[in-house]
Amino acid sequence: MDKSPIDSLDKKILSLITKNARIPFLEVARECNVSGAAIHQRIQRLINLEVIKGSEFIINPGKIGYHTCAFMGIFLKKASLFNKVVEMLEEIPQIVECHYTTGQYAIFIKIYARNNEHLKSMLHDNLQSITGISSTETIISLEETFKRQLPIE
């Protein structure tokens, strides 16, 4: 079995910064009983190892006019069209996640729309016109109950 690229200090750092991405490095250093330079080096190493994929501000979709969240399973005409379909899906900015999946769908996406009418329009005008998609199945989210990062163990 491969040895984990992270040690207990890395785990403590990750635990702190995943709870608050804006926490100052010096505060992390105090919590971990190491220097600020050590925290900076550790975080840079975790970025280089791709343990940390970045940091971001999270926008509340409803506050900017996107009140409908939906998940969509996409069936392809042929599996060989996967890359071309994904390229076309990337052109639709309201699609915020795209997954290559096992099971009944080839692709599973998360999409935001202003309302149900806007979702219908995107389905009809954008998604169903993509060459390679044979059909879609849409599930509208009524509420995001929670969203979280994996625990650092």
pLDDT of residue 123: 95
pLDDT of residue 145: 94
How much of the chain exceeds pLDDT 90, in percent?
85
Q: How confident is the model at residue 60 (pLDDT cuts 50, 70, 90)?
A: very high
Residue 13 parent element (H or E): helix 8-19
Which is nearest to 6 in space by CA: 45, 63, 53? Answer: 45
Q: How much is the pLDDT for 3?
A: 64
CATH topology of domain 8-48: Arc Repressor Mutant, subunit A (1.10.10)
What CA–CA distance (Å, rounded) separates 54 from 48? 11
Three-state SS at 1: coil
Q: pLDDT-derived band of residue 2, with 50, 70 and 90 as boundaries?
A: low
Q: Which is more confidently placed, 55 or 9?
A: 9
Per-residue pLDDT averaged across 19-23, rounded? 90
User: Predicted confidence band at 1 (pLDDT cuts at 50, 70, 90)?
Assistant: very low
- Is residue 144 very low, low, confident or very high in pLDDT (cuts 50, 70, 90)? very high
Fold of 61-141: Alpha-Beta Plaits (3.30.70)
Q: What are the residue boundaries of the structural domains of the chain, listed by start?
A: 8-48, 61-141
